[in-house]
């Protein structure tokens, strides 16, 4: 069923096919036809407990697919153990001009330079409140395009405060390659200053309502071993609750033969898999297992999922693999990990 649907969807322009796919999923869900989509049953997964949260299974939907939290119920019905929405910014913004999303089908990859197109955090919060979803929900926050990098902390603090009442965990996205200067926040004093402010705010928010929301940092794959070690040191110093590794890559290794490889943006999918697993492994070693890792990047099979867990991830996420493999891939991984 998904194979047929995929052929139809892939014949459409990329962003149109995205909208049609999400719309079809919503309709199937509203008609209670989720079983036709071929996803996993939550009851068939292996539960895990990470960051003090109970997850029905370890496989989540990565940020970027449902930026505005408009499809949570339908996505959750496919068997994901958790859903991450966003990246959302304090104010709505259109993102980069189109075209900005490219499928490299032969390589099972995507290049995107969306640029945090989103309707703003208030819109997403409204949609979350309207949804029936009661599962684990991550909210991924970013800075607006026109907020100077020196003032990025202001945007992240707005995001953290607003997301707090509804998020199971909040992800601070420091690793999109499509917002100029953003990745510089992963390094040195800039990172330490930001983490310091975020931790102080997390403490204040917890004191105010008694509930504690874990804080997760999302990093890039384009980091060498020393850089991974330095980031790990800062995450430990400030007691960050989790780290997502990784976002998309600027590398074009493995896709040089595809004419689309020259498109600017972040590469995701199969060609990213090994680089992301390397970062997870190095991060896990540097952290000494003291901070849990959400492993993401190029997972396209149960074997890829197991590799990430072996490298040290406690939770997993997929995006590009889901575009190519659809709900049957969710079932393969969720049910396979429970064997
Ligand atoms: C079209 C597209 C949009 C994305 N948007 C976001 C985003 O808004 N925020 C974010 O943290 N990651 C975003 N990502 C990155 C994914 O969450 C993920 O980290 C990355 O694609 C690697 O996983 P994958 O190979 O399974 O896709 C996006 C990825 C794609 C392909």
Atom of ligand 1 nearest to the CA of 86: 8
- Centre of ligand 1 from the C-alpha of residue 108, in Å: 14
Residue among 17, 168, 176, 268 flagged as catalytic: 176
Ligand 1 binding residues, C-beta < 6 A: 62-64, 67, 86-87, 101, 110, 112, 114, 116, 140, 173, 176, 218, 247-248, 268-269, 272, 296-299, 318-321
pLDDT of residue 36 exceeding 80: no
Q: pLDDT per residue over 136-175, tens digit each?
A: 999 999 999 999 999 999 999 999 999 999 999 999 999 9
The residue behind tokens 């071993």 is: 225
Beta-sheet pairing, 82-88 with 59-61: parallel
Q: pLDDT per residue over 184-194, tens digit each?
A: 998 999 999 99
pLDDT of residue 40 exceeding 80: no
Alpha carbon 31 to its chain's center? 28
**Residue 212: per-residue pLDDT:** 96
pLDDT of residue 43 exceeding 80: no
Confidence of residue 71 (pLDDT cuts 50, 70, 90): very high
* 2-337, CATH topology level: TIM Barrel (3.20.20)
**Residue length of the chain:** 339
Name the residue with higher pLDDT: 304 or 180: 304
User: What are the boundaries of each domain within the chain?
Assistant: 2-337
Rounded distance between C-alpha atoms, residue 196 and residue 103, angstroms: 39
- Name the token pair of 128: 């979350």
- Name the token pair of 183: 């990745």
- Centre of ligand 1 from the C-alpha of residue 56, in Å: 22
**Residue 3: per-residue pLDDT:** 80
Task: Give the CA angle between residues 23, 267, 186 to the nearest 5°.
Answer: 105
What pTM was computed for the model?
0.98
pLDDT of residue 181 exceeding 80: yes
The best mutation among 17, 59, 62 to test binding of ligand 1, ranked by most ligand atoms within 8 Å of the C-beta, falls on 62
Confidence of residue 260 (pLDDT cuts 50, 70, 90): very high
Rounded distance between C-alpha atoms, residue 41 and residue 108, angstroms: 26
| Residue among 302, 318, 336 nearest 75 (CA) | 318
The best mutation among 138, 186, 247 to test binding of ligand 1, ranked by most ligand atoms within 8 Å of the C-beta, falls on 247
- Name the token pair of 59: 């496989």
Nearest residue CA, atom 10 of ligand 1? 63
């Amino acid at each position: 069923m998904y194979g047929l649907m995929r052929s139809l969807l892939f014949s459409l322009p990329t962003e149109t096919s995205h909208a049609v796919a999400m719309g079809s999923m919503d309709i199937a869900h509203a008609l209670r036809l989720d079983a036709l989509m071929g996803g996993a049953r939550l009851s068939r997964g292996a539960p895990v407990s990470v960051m003090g949260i109970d997850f029905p299974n370890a496989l989540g939907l990565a940020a970027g697919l449902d930026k505005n939290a408009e499809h949570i119920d339908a996505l959750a019905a496919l068997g994901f153990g958790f859903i991450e929405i966003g990246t959302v910014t304090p104010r709505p913004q259109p993102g980069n001009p189109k075209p900005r999303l490219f499928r490299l089908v032969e390589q099972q990859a995507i290049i995107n330079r969306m640029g945090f197109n989103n309707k703003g955090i208030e819109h997403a919060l409204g949609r979350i409140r309207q949804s029936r979803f009661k599962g684990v929900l991550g909210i991924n926050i970013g800075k607006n395009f026109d907020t100077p990098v020196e003032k990025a902390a202001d945007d992240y603090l707005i995001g953290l405060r607003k997301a707090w009442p509804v998020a199971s965990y909040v992800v601070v996205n420091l690793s999109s390659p499509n917002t100029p200067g953003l990745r510089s926040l992963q390094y040195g004093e800039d990172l330490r200053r930001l983490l310091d402010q975020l931790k102080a705010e997390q403490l204040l928010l917890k004191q105010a309502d008694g509930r504690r929301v874990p804080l997760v940092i999302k990093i890039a794959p384009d980091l060498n071993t020393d850089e991974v070690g330095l980031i790990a040191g800062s995450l430990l110093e400030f007691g960050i609750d989790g780290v997502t590794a990784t976002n998309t890559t600027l590398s074009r290794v493995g896709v040089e033969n595809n004419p689309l490889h020259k498109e600017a943006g972040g590469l995701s999918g199969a060609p990213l898999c090994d680089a992301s697993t390397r970062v997870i492994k190095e991060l896990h070693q540097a952290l000494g297992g003291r901070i849990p890792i959400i492993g993401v990047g190029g997972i396209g099979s149960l074997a890829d999922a197991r590799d990430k867990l072996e490298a040290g991830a406690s939770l997993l996420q997929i995006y590009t693999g889901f575009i190519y493999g659809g709900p049957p891939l969710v079932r393969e991984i969720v049910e396979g990990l429970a064997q």
